[in-house]
Structure 1
Amino acid sequence: MHKNTACKTFLISLFLLVLTAGLQAQVIYNGSKGIQTIGNKIDYFVDSTGTQDIQSIQRQRQFLRSAANVPDFGMIKVPVWLKISVYNVSSTQDLMLEFDQSLLQEIQFYYKENGQWKVNQSGELYPFHSRENNYHKFIYSLKINYDSTATYYARIKSTHEMQMPIFLGDRAHMVDSNLTKNIFFGIFFGIILVMFFYNLFVYFSVKDPIYLYYVLYIFIVGVAQATIEGYSFHYLWPDNSFMATRSFFLLTALVNISGVEFTRKFLQTSKFVPRLDKISYALYAVYAIVIALTIRGDLYTSYQILQFFAGIVSLYMLTIAVSIARTGYRPAKFFLIAWMPLILGIIIWILKDYNVFSYNVFTNYSITIGSAMEVILLSFALADRINIFKAEKDRYQEETLRALQENERIIREQNVVLELKVSERTLELSESNQELGRTLEDLKQAQSQLVESEKMASLGQLTAGIAHEINNPINFVTANIKPLKRDVDMMFDAFTFIENISLSEASTEDKQKQIEEYKEELDFDYLIIEINDLLKGIREGASRTAEIVKGLKIFSRLDEDDLKVANINEGLDSTLIIANNLLNNNIKVIREYGDIPHIECYAGKLNQVFLNIISNGAYAVQKQFGDHAGGEIVIKTTNDDEFIYISIKDNGTGMDDKTQKKIFEPFFTTKDVGEGTGLGMSIAYNTVKKHNGNIQLHSAAGEGTEFILQLPVIHKVIAI
């Protein structure tokens, strides 16, 4: 019995071997591999006249056998016919045939039904819904009974390099394979979206135009990659054959234009390499020609130009980056590192088109992978640009602080000299009260002019505090980048592992088990939580920085010399942001703002008044409470028909009657030597008076101080 079985097995194997040898152009599908590449098991015929139909093509004897796993017909303007014969010896009848190419101008798929040839016409010239399956690649359902053979024909035209990966498999494996590809692209597009919105937010925060150029570049890259993969036709213009046939060419040209322009702005090429910078205009002209040819419909010429200049543009950018990096310009080094993955991806993609590299997942997605890495690395390069600006700002602030300290020293010396002169002059004029009165009046005018010229000197004391306030959230952002990169790398490793498992020959249960074990080993759920926390920290740091910058902008109004309608509540808030460092986290600020109207005023000057009063209040509270809690500053705004009222009250040391009488005199201060100039309250008093307003003082030693500012809603003085 065993001999008979062995004999039968031998005869069946011999029969299948002979059958296989006789059917060289036939695909034998047994289901063992799930999905198999059948490019080297099909016949093809180049229809040089473009007149063949299904009836004549069946009689055609000039079909050639494809020798490559991925047939490559190059740039060809005439249709190519494919003949695919499938012999099904698997356990399933539900098979699927996929042409893994999204950029086909036209594909006509012929199949027999009830003895008659039927055709499905689709491609870029037809609406997307004309496809048999709602997918961005071309997939066709095959119903082939067990131990049966079916023959199919496909007539294909393309305006691109016609590489045609063809896969055959059962529905379950085909769906699983395409899901993996969609996940891969989803990761890429997710990276594009994150970088897009992050850099857009940074642009609105810092107003640096380079971020706008980069955001535009990221947007075009994302849409271009979606177009190459067929997603744009699927979701953006499913019924627009004009965009479907031309979007690849238009977007590729725009990607190169925006990339070159971003490079020029980011690397300052006109400054460092002016001769190379001029070449960019020639490249713009080339891509303008491509756009014109594309709109006119000369797509073959457009593709040849794009293919030729892809390498030239990559070499051009590489040359610029290397040339500028040699000068020591740090952003060029980051730029060079960021662009290398994309340049390498473009080179691999071009060499794949010229058959130097074979067609596979890596070579087909080389530009997608390079684009994702480039977008991430360029964001890091822009982040380093912020650090450079910050260092320059710190140096400027240090120089400003030194200048203000020198001004303060000069003021103190002038005070001493002035006091000596006043004493001498007083003695000389003691015999004449009238002359003494004139002299004192002249002295007050001189002091008033000095106050006017030096009234902003005290603001310099807050510069270091502002730098500290901005430095904290920026440090928080930069501190989160390194662990975020580590976690993202772990996510990439996880996706690579899952992709490898999904492409393995193991069963679905084994795949799920291996994936679950890997996720437990990686602590995948915690990794997601940690990434969200890091992103939240970066967002909070950036938001805090934006709040400080906004407050500083409102406080230091550039229009302070013009009479404007302003929101006093908003001015108080911006002043509190500027003075935040003085409050030292121990002083509680209570805001009791009323719904007051906007008033005509010099907003910048009033903000200086608020700052002087709040800083004095903070000083008095700190003197009273030290580092202990309990200190408070209460800010209240109200109004009536003609005036608004601003009350600033603290529970600090307060003032006695003698101090209250001198508080608005120039150069009078209760602070220690070196801690104040004595000009702050004098400036406040003069500013309020020039607004046709009034300032009231209520204070008692040991109980705190309250200043009440009364300002008219409508200013009756045109200028001060």
Structure 2
Amino acid sequence: MIRLRFLLLLLSICYSVLAAAQSPVIFKGKNMVIGGHVAILDDATNKLELEDVKNSSAFHASGVKIPNLRLSSSDFWLKFTIKNESDQDHLILALEYPTLGTCEFYAVSDGTVQKLSYYNNFSERKYQHQNFLFDVRIAPGSSKEYFLRVKSTEQMVLPLILGSPKTIAESLATNDLAWGLFMGLILVMVLYNFFIYLSVKDSSYIFYVLYSLFIGLSSITLSGYTYRLILFNYPAINHLGIVIFPGIAGVVGNLFMMTFLQTKENSPRMHKFIYLPIILYSIAIILRILGYDQASFRAIDFAAISTVVITFTIAISLSLQGYRPAKLFLLAFTLFITGLLLFVLRNLGIVPYTNFTNYTKETGTALEVILLAFALADKINTFKRDKEKSQEQTLQALKENERIIREQNVILETKVNERTIELSEINSELSQTLVELKEAEGQLVEAEKMASLGQLTAGIAHEINNPINFVTSNVAPLNRDVDILIDFIQEIEKIGLSDLPIQEKQKLIDEQKEEMDFDYLKMEISQLLKGIQEGASRTSEIVKGLRVFSRLDEDDLKKANINDGLDSTLIIVNNLLNRKIKLEKIYGDLPLIECYPGKLNQVFLNILSNAIYAINAKFKDREGGLLKISTTYSKSKVIIKIEDNGIGMDEVTKKKIFEPFFTTKDVGEGTGLGMSIAYNTIKRHQGEIHINSTPGKGTEFILKLPIVFEYTEQDT
């Protein structure tokens, strides 16, 4: 058992008996414990044979009814003499310690030696029992000397019982019955509480189930029933289970204590110490698996000591605080420890070896498992009572709330009516305010459009005035040349109507041509007409661009060429370039897209105006400014890039650039609505607008517009 090692170690140190002279075993027909008649020799070399120890003086009397050998890697030799005073010549010697690694029995008579060895494989044993059973052949009235060599990786407790085959069989049958009841009880408690766990899903139950299962496996493994009934012919696995089962039981037992007693909340100081035995039990398991048998056994001892101290400390402390689950837990644990204590005292010979003391360990374990199940049930009942009490208090509170609600309903109804009237008035005011806000929004948008156009009016007038001035400046010289030409025609008419000979007429005409420089006049008239034609053509192009750009208020989707829209916008802003800003256009062969052309032109105008402003802010009257416009398209989108090498923007400006009324221009130079309108226009076109900008280096706007517009309810 997991705590048995601690008690064995403690009591074996505290209790010792002076060696006494060895006396022979006098058998008179009844089962008897012969440990007090045994002499013991410790063979630390593990090399001594029977011939070496038969006459050795190193033997010392055990002094106790049940020899308790220390944890050691030595071979131990036991020597005793049996005198048969019964009427039977066939006796049985039973050694009730099934976990021995080595067990050899020698019978010495008249100089002959008979050796009986026990094999690890269960099926090779003569007597199919977990205990070591040896045939003792001795005639009535005679005596024989016997030797027993034993060895184990655990601390050995050796109950040696001598009896007749019948009485030994009856004793073993009684023992099997008791253990059967014990195993049945453990199995019932495990299954019953496991099904409860499936219902309540309380982690305490699953830890209890695992603890009960492994504490039961620990008991039946130490008593040999696991080897006899389950792991027969697998002694290596059974050997591992001697430490692994108690180790797992110790781990889940401490986890059960944590959850059942809620130590983290109820005993936070001691809670962290619970991890110490858990770690020690885990180390013991690992050591046994790795083959360090004695070290694993010693780790179990230390884990058991720490578990006993910590468990009693927590359980007693919480019990004194009036915590009911701790009281039941303390009672169960105390009964368990009491059963182990009586079992150890029996092995040390302090209490008699009786049928009662034989089963104190199992009785304590069974009582603990049963009481812990009761404690879990009581805890559930406590939770149920607390829940019912809480529900009752809740019901009372609900009734009180219902009364208060009834009283408040009258007041609330009056206040609600008053508030409804107020809300109706406020709602009307809000509706009117919303209408005014929408009107104001429309006016602001129109104001931004007019502001943009107003800023460029002077430039547009200048663009038109240049070709018009070119025309008007050519009209006066043309009129003069026409008058000269008319006078020349009149002179020719007079000469043609005169009676002069043809040669004379031709001579006079040539003189007139030479006088008026007719060839130069003809060339000058041609140049003047060509200049007038160019001015008129330039004026026509500007008017055409204005007509394309001016579709700001068109609300119908049309198929348009983005390149044309950009060119018309460039005509509007051409005067702003002032010949110091280099314009670079890289147009792709774009397909027509479905859009609102006038609204996109407004977007281009806003972005180009800001780009020119940024370039002028950086270069002022110096040359070096660059405005680059490029267009491409992918499978489904047209991409417009407008890039400048102006002052650029920092991250703060980039984040706010599309916010209404945000502007970096001086007062009076911008409304702060241009980019907000541009953003909303691009979104309405189901497109995207991105900004790449570096302070001091410039800014790039990237517009992506779908070629095919997907109609929505708003658009239809």
Please report the TM-score for the alignment, with normalisation by the length of structure 1: 0.50
Contact 1:120 1:131 (8 Å CA) reproduced: no
Does 1:307 find its partner at 2:301?
Answer: yes
**How far off is 1:146 after superposition?**
3.0
Q: How many residues align?
A: 397
**How far off is 1:137 after superposition?**
1.1
Q: Corresponding residue for 2:95?
A: 99
Q: How does 1:420-431 map to 2 (within 5 A)?
A: none
- Which digits, 9 at most, give the CA deviation of each residue in 1:630-658, with x for residues without a partner? xxxxxxxxxxxxxxxxxxxxxxxxxxxxx
Residue of structure 2 aligned with 1:50, choices 46, 49, 59: 46
Q: Corresponding residue for 1:617?
A: none
- Which digits, 9 at most, give the CA deviation of each residue in 1:64-95, with x for residues without a partner? 44433222332232111223433333222221
Does 1:216 find its partner at 2:210?
Answer: yes
- Read off the aligned partner of 2:331 and give its amino acid letter: I
Q: Corresponding residue for 2:75?
A: 79
* 101-110 or 396-405: bigger deviation: 396-405
Q: Distance in 1 between matches of 2:138 and 2:150?
A: 23
**How far off is 1:403 after superposition?**
6.2
Unpaired stretches in structure 1, ≥5 consecutive residues: 1-22, 421-720
Q: Compared with structure 1, are the counterparts of its residues 395 and 73 closer, same or farther at alpha carbon in structure 2 (3 Å cutoff)?
A: closer
- Which digits, 9 at most, give the CA deviation of each residue in 1:289-341, with x for residues without a partner? 11121112222222223224423311211111122223332211222222211
- Read off the aligned partner of 1:27 and give its amino acid letter: V
Does 1:286 find its partner at 2:280?
Answer: yes
Q: Distance in 1 between matches of 2:153 and 2:231?
A: 19
Q: Distance in 1 between matches of 2:25 and 2:309?
A: 44
Secondary structure of 2:379's aligned partner: helix
Q: Corresponding residue for 2:28?
A: 30
Q: Distance in 1 between matches of 2:242 and 2:264?
A: 31
Contact 2:316 2:330 (8 Å CA) reproduced: yes
Contact 1:260 1:280 (8 Å CA) reproduced: yes
Q: Corresponding residue for 1:329?
A: 323
Q: Corresponding residue for 2:127?
A: 133
Q: Distance in 1 between matches of 2:363 and 2:135?
A: 31
Secondary structure of 1:145's aligned partner: coil
Contact 1:70 1:164 (8 Å CA) reproduced: yes
Secondary structure of 2:157's aligned partner: coil
Q: Distance in 2 between matches of 1:127 and 1:41?
A: 31
Q: How does 1:444-593 map to 2 (within 5 A)?
A: none
Secondary structure of 1:49's aligned partner: coil
Q: Compared with structure 1, are the counterparts of its residues 258 and 142 closer, same or farther at alpha carbon in structure 2 (3 Å cutoff)?
A: same
Secondary structure of 1:135's aligned partner: coil
Q: Distance in 1 between matches of 2:181 and 2:67?
A: 29
Q: Distance in 1 between matches of 2:192 and 2:292?
A: 38
Contact 2:109 2:145 (8 Å CA) reproduced: no
Does 1:254 find its partner at 2:248?
Answer: yes
Q: Corresponding residue for 2:185?
A: 191
**How far off is 1:197 after superposition?**
2.1
Does 1:345 find its partner at 2:348?
Answer: no
Q: Compared with structure 1, are the counterparts of its residues 419 and 276 closer, same or farther at alpha carbon in structure 2 (3 Å cutoff)?
A: closer
Does 1:142 find its partner at 2:136?
Answer: yes
* 400-409 or 94-103: bigger deviation: 400-409
Unpaired stretches in structure 2, ≥5 consecutive residues: 1-20, 415-716
Secondary structure of 1:109's aligned partner: strand
Residue of structure 1 aligned with 2:259, choices 256, 265, 268: 265
Let me know the Cα RMSD of the aligned residues. 3.5
Q: Distance in 1 between matches of 2:269 and 2:206?
A: 25
Percent identity for Structure 1 against Structure 2: 35
**How far off is 1:347 after superposition?**
4.4
- Read off the aligned partner of 1:174 and give its amino acid letter: I
- Which digits, 9 at most, give the CA deviation of each residue in 1:157-206, with x for residues without a partner? 02222222211111111111222222222332232222222212222222
* 359-368 or 138-147: bigger deviation: 359-368
Q: Distance in 2 between matches of 1:415 and 1:269?
A: 48
Q: Corresponding residue for 2:221?
A: 227
* 294-303 or 218-227: bigger deviation: 294-303
Q: Distance in 2 between matches of 1:307 and 1:365?
A: 22
Please report the TM-score for the alignment, with normalisation by the length of structure 2: 0.50
Contact 1:311 1:346 (8 Å CA) reproduced: no
**How far off is 1:390 after superposition?**
1.3
Q: Compared with structure 1, are the counterparts of its residues 359 and 300 closer, same or farther at alpha carbon in structure 2 (3 Å cutoff)?
A: farther
Secondary structure of 1:237's aligned partner: coil
Q: Corresponding residue for 1:202?
A: 196
Secondary structure of 1:371's aligned partner: helix
Contact 1:35 1:168 (8 Å CA) reproduced: yes
Secondary structure of 2:78's aligned partner: strand
Does 1:381 find its partner at 2:375?
Answer: yes
Q: Distance in 2 between matches of 1:44 and 1:411?
A: 89
- Read off the aligned partner of 2:50 and give its amino acid letter: I
Q: Distance in 1 between matches of 2:357 and 2:305?
A: 16
Q: Distance in 2 between matches of 1:278 and 1:358?
A: 41
